[in-house]
Structure 1
Amino acid sequence: MISPAVKLVVIDDDPTGSQTVHGCLLLMQWDVETLKLGIADDSPLMFILANTRALDPERAAETTRAVCRNLKTALAAMGVADYLLVSRSDSTLRGHYPLETDVIAQEMGPIDAHFLVPAFLEGGRLTRDSVHYLNGVPVHETEFARDSVFAYRHSYLPAYVEEKTGGRIPAEAVERLVLGDIRGECLQERLMALQDNRSVVVDAEVQDDLDRFARVLLRSVERGKRFLLRSAASVLTALADLPPQPVPAEAMASFVRGGRPGAVIVGSHVRKTTEQLERLLQEPGTAGIAVEVERLLAGGEAARAELLTEVNAAVAAAHARGETPVVYTSRRELTFPDVQTRLAFGETVSGLLMAVERHLPETIGYLVSKGGITSNDTLSRGLTLRTARLLGQILPGCSVVRTPADHPDFPDLPVVLFPGNVGAKEALAVVYRRLSRSAKK
């Protein structure tokens, strides 16, 4: 569907936005030369993993601004004038909005409109009459709306925009594209009339709604409109219009190195992840290894070093027994005096998990990273990758990438990027079973 002349550039606030596509490059760095690799790649889309959801607002703005300035330089150097920008974020409305779209519009503008398209149909998130739902429940009634960093009060998207912009964009000023508009005959005229960075919210109940919206959006871009999307992943499927992934989800064990057991790293703390973790640990061949993060609160560097030594020893012992170590952060919810302290402690915990990853046995067959921020850190800090090629999905919403053949420690390692809020209770166990098939032959 996407015109060869239009490059789809996705600035992702964690590494899970590629969860509905395949074959493209994920960029863990955003210097000009790395960005040129993504622009020159044959795939119609590219992902820049900015990981801003893990940052405080000031650092998120600085990172987004740096990405945009280098992107502008790279696009100009490659002679690319027609592109569509996507600020990919969470389908449950958590993230630095409107901060990121404001910065992108300032740096890459002028922008005629920015669209909120949070539908993630593969995960049960849809939008009807401008209200966003998770499995039939308005998202403001779910645990995600009570997030310690990105809490909100509204599922009605115009009210959400007003809330998050502090009234700068009142609800009545938000353009609504409801299902009747998406499925009607006048959508093209509506999009062509947009200007001055109008805020627009978009309904979608089924993939065909997003397909219709994407076709009209791309025609508008080709006719000179400059748009920005703030979206979940499902609309990317419509925009990229890719063929089926070459290796089916059920056959992903073919990528496992030597048919050997792997390793699982769990950082996400949402209830869904905890349920999936409990189910995974019932699977034969797994070895649960809890990381008692409470010890990091006041123990300093000595506590960190002691904890890392203990976890690494447990991982090595499990691997030597032919088991798959499942390393997970302790499940008790901690409280903090403010958001900045919460984010800083999250970075400390993630740093410890990445140190565990760097010490994993080099003979593991695969790696599963559970949690969006954890997955981003796995790629950029644990495996220290510059780019990675996306193989496809092992489950709806769960991507698989592979490290380069010349990686110094883990060449050709398949890595599952598993968002914290995706999948049924059995999902993590299903991924484990699919990847373990070759090991059981």
Structure 2
Amino acid sequence: MKKTKIIALDDDPTGSQTVHGCLLLTRWDVETLKQGLEDDSPLFFVLTNTRGMDSARAAAITREVCVNLKRALVELAEVGCEPVPVMVSRSDSTLRGHYPVETDIMAAELGPFDAHFLVPAFIEAGRVTRDSTHYLLVDGEPVPVHQTEFAKDSVFGYRHSYLPAYVEEKTGGRIAAAQVERFVLDDVRGDVMNRLMALTGNACCCVDAETQADLDGFCGQLMAAAEQGKRWLFRSAASLLTALAQLPPQPVAREAMGDYVRDGRAGAVIVGSHVRKTTEQLERLLEMPGVEAIEVDVGRLGENDRVLLETILGQVRTAHDADRTVAIYTSRTELSFPTQAARLAFGERVSGFLMEIVERLPETLGFLISKGGITSNDVLSTGLALGASRVVGQILTGCSVVRCPDDHPRYPGLPVVIFPGNVGDREALATAYRRLTGRDRSLPTNASHRSHDPLPRRA
């Protein structure tokens, strides 16, 4: 019997936030993809980082991955290894990303598919779908996502939380809302095999889910239909991957992740995300003992970047020598840009500057926390130059820990926390820091060592 392999093309590196033991690939040449296909884990991720790109570049990258993947599958088949691919376009649980660009290309290159399913639920973080409307739970209350800050994203903004209307909006009417097959809660909790077997022509479907059990049951029927020859494509958040992979509990307790810290040394926190949740979490982290705040004033980029870089690195070395963890964050003021292209180009410049910092962090660094999806992708692929890394598990709900390989030239065995920008409560970043450092919650805070004044609050 052929072995199923779940392959997630992840538009930032946070899709592994509900799984463990799998590979994250930041390269997608044929040989690297074969490494993922031959790995013992039932799934692997290809970190395309397309959410940080314009649609044309995102399309080109997605197509390149698909073409190389087809070649890798052919080469493995020639030596008797024929994994059956289950394709997932993993994206944001708040509906931001290049849809339908990425699923269209995956369908064109890897199809034909009988249907593609939109499954944005991320149960662990309180993102649920009911009656085909997608919600964020805010203080326990469901808020339609189009009423949140995420819907106002300058690149990926949208007007609808009702998924059929969202599809019509994003496809420019190519797929009308009335054409979208709806699998509501009563459906996913019942028998839908006949409906699944009747789907053809890459039908667009949206799926409700309020609990992991909803997805577990629905995926069981999806896989049963696949065994009868049906071919599916998924556009999903992280929780679907948990249901598809059916992994056992992670072997390392969240509270024990500090055991991976190298020699008990201080670490670094790199913060690029600008969503309000990140800013609130950063403010709380900077109240913690042993944390040194270092702000990167992005408004100064382009003046004399070399001087700014050396100044920051000097601050980092001084703090690390004093056994203090540095929190390196971009200035919190939102800048305005005339075009989306200008905004994306500036974001790449800022990320490039942050990666120069990561490349020159102290070699005795104990741990690294990367806050923000695009920032985390660049940390893995550029700052740490990792072609592949393995997920240990989660230190917090939605926050994965990976480790640099033991033969890494600069940071062997370094634990790296991939911390999405829009995950966790106000205490989450501080909690991850405490778990890595073993610092007790009752210790008094010490703000006297900060490099800057407290963060300004955003309205």
- TM bucket normalised to smaller: over 0.9
**Contact 1:404–1:411 (8 Å) recurs in 2:** yes
Is residue 256 of structure 1 aligned with residue 257 of structure 2?
A: no
Match of 2:305 in 1: 304
**Contact 1:49–1:376 (8 Å) recurs in 2:** yes
Counterpart code for 1:128: R
SS in 1 for 2:363: coil
Match of 1:413 in 2: 414
Deviations 1:326-349 (A, max 9, x none): 000000000000000000000000
Quote the Cα distance in structure 1 between the aligned partners of 2:440 and 2:212.
Answer: 36
Quote the Cα distance in structure 2 between the aligned partners of 1:189 and 1:81.
Answer: 27
Deviations 1:311-368 (A, max 9, x none): 1111111101110000000000000000000000000000000000001000010000
**Contact 1:260–1:438 (8 Å) recurs in 2:** no
Match of 1:23 in 2: 21
Moved more, 4-13 or 366-375: 4-13
Distance 1:251 1:81, change over 3 A: closer
Moved more, 305-314 or 321-330: 305-314
Match of 2:216 in 1: 211
SS in 1 for 2:7: strand
Counterpart code for 2:247: L
SS in 2 for 1:238: helix
Match of 1:245 in 2: 250
Deviations 1:58-110 (A, max 9, x none): 11000000000000111122222522100000000000000000010011011
Is residue 110 of structure 1 aligned with residue 116 of structure 2?
A: no
Counterpart code for 1:17: G
Find 1:39's aligned residue among 37, 40, 43. 37
Counterpart code for 2:20: H
Match of 1:184 in 2: 190
Moved more, 216-225 or 269-278: 216-225
Q: Identity, % of aligned pairs? A: 64
Find 1:53's aligned residue among 24, 31, 51. 51
Match of 2:445 in 1: none
SS in 2 for 1:378: helix
**Contact 2:2–2:84 (8 Å) recurs in 1:** no
Match of 1:138 in 2: 144
Match of 1:68 in 2: 66
Deviation at 1:194, TM superposition (A): 0.7
Deviation at 1:4, TM superposition (A): 6.6
SS in 2 for 1:115: strand
Match of 1:282 in 2: 287
Match of 2:393 in 1: 392
Quote the Cα distance in structure 2 between the aligned partners of 1:31 and 1:58.
Answer: 20
Match of 2:225 in 1: 220
Deviations 1:198-256 (A, max 9, x none): 10000000111000111011111111111100000001111111111111000001100
Query: 1:70-219 counterparts in 2 under 5 A?
Result: 70-79=68-77, 80=82, 82-135=84-137, 136-185=142-191, 187-219=192-224
Quote the Cα distance in structure 1 between the aligned partners of 2:277 and 2:126.
Answer: 14
SS in 1 for 2:160: coil
Unaligned 5+ segments in structure 1 are none
Match of 1:292 in 2: 297
Structure-2-length-normalised TM-score = 0.93
Quote the Cα distance in structure 2 between the aligned partners of 1:112 and 1:410.
Answer: 45
Match of 2:336 in 1: 335
Unaligned 5+ segments in structure 2 are 442-459
Structure-1-length-normalised TM-score = 0.97
Quote the Cα distance in structure 2 between the aligned partners of 1:112 and 1:311.
Answer: 53
**Contact 1:33–1:74 (8 Å) recurs in 2:** yes
Quote the Cα distance in structure 1 between the aligned partners of 2:311 and 2:167.
Answer: 46
Distance 1:438 1:40, change over 3 A: farther
Deviation at 1:288, TM superposition (A): 0.4
Match of 1:317 in 2: 318
SS in 2 for 1:111: coil
Question: Aligned-pair RMSD on alpha carbons?
Answer: 1.2
Deviations 1:175-212 (A, max 9, x none): 00000111112x11111111111100000001110001
SS in 2 for 1:424: coil
SS in 2 for 1:333: coil
Consecutive aligned runs of 4 or more in structure 1 exceeding 6 Å deviation:
none
Match of 2:369 in 1: 368
Deviation at 1:438, TM superposition (A): 8.1
Quote the Cα distance in structure 2 between the aligned partners of 1:76 and 1:22.
Answer: 28
Quote the Cα distance in structure 1 between the aligned partners of 2:233 and 2:435.
Answer: 37
Quote the Cα distance in structure 1 between the aligned partners of 2:372 and 2:355.
Answer: 13
Match of 2:448 in 1: none
SS in 2 for 1:78: helix
Deviation at 1:144, TM superposition (A): 0.2
**Contact 1:254–1:438 (8 Å) recurs in 2:** no
* Alignment coverage as a number of residue pairs: 433
Quote the Cα distance in structure 1 between the aligned partners of 2:373 and 2:421.
Answer: 6
Quote the Cα distance in structure 1 between the aligned partners of 2:195 and 2:156.
Answer: 31
SS in 1 for 2:106: helix
